[in-house]
């Protein structure tokens, strides 16, 4: 019996070199399993510095990019795939690079009318010496995902987080510092330019850090989010506008904060390759819309095919 991807060779790029390697291995495994159920011939590729040579030898029909974080999600791997002329999933070089750079993304989003937090980039040693803004505020690397290296500085804190000047810090010399927005953590998946729904994320620890995102029971997801209708619609609109402003394609996920006391909604960032793990938000939202995991993976793969050849940025 014919299956949707019979006769198609898909290389699933997973693992990689970033701090999000372990999450990417899980995303890649889940997507590869789904692609096999859909009838594809699947090669699981643990992406390393020899990626170009590996793919040149494999000659897949399409690459499913399940990498997360630096190198795999910031335009670098996308550039390799463009050079090889291989169709690939998710956003292209420009959108990937823009979305990963929080400072540049905020400038583009603000120009497009998307409400973003204040703050800016600071040298990490300056930021560790004294408060560069009145607490509460958030300190984060400028080009990491999955809440890696993120610190919340509470009101009344005596000093900034010293981890940012520790010898093991590997996230660059500048850190993004933003005022902390109290309230709810929201997420909106965008598929083919259209927002799916809004999820209210309730972290077990009180802060949506790496463990809250990926550990079993680390957070509770309420879909659809129980927030006022106007805020729900605004979150969907901001996610769609951000997706378009950055030039994204395929599936993305926007992360937002909603202060339900002051009725203030801000968009924190756009993830161009959202997680596809058992606890991930986008598959959960798709399922709530009647699109099961296999159909979601199929759509993402077919979307890459539809662009023909390497999917170049049009911007």
Which listed residue (183, 275, 311, 313) is catalytic?
Answer: 275
CB 50 within 8 A of CB 63: no
Which listed residue (269, 284, 303, 313) is catalytic?
Answer: 269
69 is catalytic: no
Q: Which residues of 72-98 are buried (b: 16+ CB within 10 A; e: fewer)?
A: bbbbbbbebbbebebbbbbbbbbbbbb
295 is catalytic: no
146 is catalytic: yes
Quote the CA–CA distance of 262 and 264 in Å, as a whole number: 5
Which listed residue (255, 284, 303, 313) is catalytic?
Answer: 255
20 is catalytic: yes
Helices (H) and strands (E) in the chain, counts: 10, 12
255 is catalytic: yes
Closest-CA residue to 218 (of 23, 46, 34, 10): 23
269 is catalytic: yes
Which listed residue (15, 16, 19, 20) is catalytic?
Answer: 20
Which listed residue (91, 146, 147, 280) is catalytic?
Answer: 146
123 is catalytic: no
Which listed residue (249, 271, 303, 311) is catalytic?
Answer: 271
7 is catalytic: no
Closest-CA residue to 69 (of 146, 164, 150): 146
Which listed residue (137, 214, 247, 249) is catalytic?
Answer: 214
Which listed residue (44, 241, 249, 253) is catalytic?
Answer: 253
Q: Which long-range contacts (CB under 8 A, 24 or more apart) does 130-134 make?
A: 130/159, 130/160, 131/157, 131/159, 131/160, 132/160, 132/177, 133/177, 133/179
Catalytic residue numbers read: 20, 146, 214, 253, 255, 269, 271, 275
């Amino acid at each position: 019996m014919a299956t949707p991807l019979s006769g198609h060779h898909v290389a699933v790029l997973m693992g990689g070199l970033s701090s999000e390697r372990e999450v990417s291995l899980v995303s890649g495994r889940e997507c590869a399993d789904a692609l096999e159920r859909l009838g594809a011939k699947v090669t699981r590729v643990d992406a390393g510095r020899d990626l170009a040579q590996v793919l040149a030898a494999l000659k897949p029909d399409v690459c499913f990019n399940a990498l997360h974080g630096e190198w795999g999600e910031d335009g670098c791997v996308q550039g390799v795939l463009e050079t090889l002329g291989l169709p690939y999933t998710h956003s292209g070089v420009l959108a990937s690079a823009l979305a990963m750079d929080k400072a540049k993304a905020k400038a583009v989003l603000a120009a497009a009318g998307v409400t973003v937090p204040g703050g800016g980039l600071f040298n990490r040693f300056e930021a560790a010496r004294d408060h560069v803004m009145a607490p509460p505020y958030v300190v984060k690397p400028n080009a990491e995902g999955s809440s890696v290296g993120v610190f919340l500085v509470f009101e009344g804190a005596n000093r900034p987080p010293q981890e940012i000047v520790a010898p093991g810090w590997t996230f660059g010399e500048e850190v993004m510092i933003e005022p902390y927005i109290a309230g709810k953590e929201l997420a909106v998946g965008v598929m083919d330019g259209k927002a799916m729904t809004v999820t209210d994320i309730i972290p077990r620890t009180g802060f949506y850090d790496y463990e809250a995102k990926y550990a079993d029971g680390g957070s509770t997801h309420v879909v659809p989010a129980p927030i006022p209708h106007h805020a729900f619609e605004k979150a969907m609109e901001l996610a769609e506008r951000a997706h378009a402003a950055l030039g994204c394609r395929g599936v993305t996920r926007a992360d937002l904060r909603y202060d339900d006391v002051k009725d203030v909604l801000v968009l924190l960032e756009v993830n161009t390759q959202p997680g596809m793990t058992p606890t991930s938000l986008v598959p959960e939202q798709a399922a709530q819309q009647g699109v099961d995991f296999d159909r979601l993976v199929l759509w993402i793969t077919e979307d890459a095919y539809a662009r023909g050849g390497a999917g170049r940025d049009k911007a």
